[in-house]
């Protein structure tokens, strides 16, 4: 009997607790401004296409417009921050991580992240020639960034500068793992840079078919000499032209001298002001990559050698001495 009374009292206590919990009014819905999420944008281009120069100037202009920008160099050459810092190189994440590990110390933000006029910048770095895999270095660098709180940093934009003509896995991380919202390709009016841009579009299309979400926001045409192949490429694959930086000797000289030209009021300010708007607002789209022959078709025949005939080699061509046609010693059995 006492057991039944105790059970009834327990149920009554639970019921009362539930009634009290139910009587509590829920919090009012938030009415303040919507918190803006960080836009992570991966920029790919062929080595030497000028993407690091363009990105250093773009990030500088965005910072002058009041945006909080983080520029991460993901190219083993580590030239992104050199351009931003006037030719001075900063310690890379991979190099710093190795030294700290040997010393039994932890890597801190101040060891790898540096500032100039409102732009925050760091370099992932890479191994020396023959001493490691560049792609693995990229993966290690991002793993360390996550330990440093990458996903909690309060930036408006994170710009990732990737080498586009390296195809090993680490360099494809942003596309393969949905680490960015959109991709921008950099190219000029030459076959090799557009070949790389087309490869990046192919990667985006491939991972979209696998359920990925990354799209291409457009192409930045660098060293534009007016011949039109890069514009034709953009139209063919279905992506917009975000900006065209002319092939001007003044830009070439200043780039070689590590000068920033994306400054408000400067001669080239309007290019980077408009580019900053396009980079921020251009939606990611799924491109339609070109077959190799279609890519070649953007150029004149005398420019890409389409009149060349492939002539098969013979074994006689390959050997210095005369090749004897020896009979086969293979034993063939009846009924085999």
> What are the residues whose beta carbons fall under 8 Å from the beta carbon of 250, sequence distance 6 or more?
267
| Residue pLDDT tens, the chain, 336 long | 555 556 666 667 766 765 665 555 444 433 344 344 889 999 998 888 888 899 999 999 999 999 999 999 887 777 788 889 988 888 888 888 889 888 999 999 999 999 999 999 998 877 666 666 766 677 878 888 888 888 888 999 999 988 777 666 677 888 888 889 999 999 999 999 999 999 999 999 999 999 989 999 999 999 999 999 999 999 999 999 999 999 999 999 999 999 999 999 999 999 999 999 999 999 999 999 999 989 988 987 666 666 778 889 888 888 866 666 677 777 777 765
Here the tokens at position 55 are 């990105």
Domains delineated in the chain: 39-296 (3.40.50.300)
Whether the CB-CB separation of 287 and 205 falls below 8 Å is answered with yes
Angle at 214 between CA 210 and CA 217, to 5 degrees: 140
Here the tokens at position 261 are 């030209």
- In eight-state DSSP terms, residue 285 is B
Whether the CB-CB separation of 164 and 185 falls below 8 Å is answered with yes
116: closest CA among 141, 91, 86?
86
Here the tokens at position 95 are 């190099």
Please count the residues of the chain.
Answer: 336
Rg (CA), the chain: 28
Distance CA 175, CA 181 (A): 9
Query: E strands along 140-293, which residues?
Result: 157-163, 182-187, 215-224, 241-246
> What are the residues whose beta carbons fall under 8 Å from the beta carbon of 25, sequence distance 6 or more?
none
Distance CA 58, CA 262 (A): 6
Axis-axis angle for helices 134-147, 93-103 (nearest 10): 70
């Amino acid at each position: 009997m006492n057991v039944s009374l105790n059970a009834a009292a327990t149920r009554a206590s639970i019921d009362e607790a539930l009634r009290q919990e139910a009587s509590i009014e829920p919090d009012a819905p938030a009415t303040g401004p919507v918190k803006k999420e960080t836009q992570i944008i991966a920029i790919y281009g062929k080595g030497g296409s000028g993407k690091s120069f363009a990105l250093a100037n773009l990030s500088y202009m965005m910072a002058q417009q009041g945006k909080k920008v983080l520029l991460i160099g993901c190219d083993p050459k580590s030239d992104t921050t050199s351009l931003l810092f006037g030719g001075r190189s900063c310690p890379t994440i991979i190099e710093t991580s190795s030294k700290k590990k040997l010393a039994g110390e932890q890597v801190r933000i101040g060891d790898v992240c540096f500032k100039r006029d409102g732009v925050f910048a760091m370099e992932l770095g890479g191994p020396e020639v023959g001493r490691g895999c560049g792609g693995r270095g990229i993966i290690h660098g991002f793993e360390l960034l996550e330990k440093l709180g990458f996903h909690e940093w309060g930036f408006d934009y994170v710009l990732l500068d990737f080498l586009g003509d390296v195809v090993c896995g680490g360099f494809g991380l942003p596309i393969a793992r949905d680490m960015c919202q959109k991709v921008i390709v950099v190219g000029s009016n030459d076959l090799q840079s557009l070949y790389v841009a087309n490869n990046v579009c192919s990667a985006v299309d491939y991972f979209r078919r696998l359920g990925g979400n990354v799209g291409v926001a457009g192409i930045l045409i660098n060293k534009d000499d007016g011949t039109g192949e890069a514009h034709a490429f953009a139209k063919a694959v279905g992506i917009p032209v975000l900006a065209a930086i002319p092939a001007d000797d003044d830009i070439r000289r200043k780039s070689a001298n590590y000068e920033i030209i994306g400054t408000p009021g400067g001669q080239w300010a309007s290019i980077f002001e408009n580019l900053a708007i396009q980079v921020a607002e251009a939606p990611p789209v799924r491109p339609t990559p070109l077959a190799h022959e279609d890519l070649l078709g953007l150029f004149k025949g005398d420019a890409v050698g389409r009149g060349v005939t492939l002539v098969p080699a013979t074994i006689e061509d390959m050997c210095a001495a005369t090749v004897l046609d020896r009979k086969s010693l293979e034993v063939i059995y009846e009924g085999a």
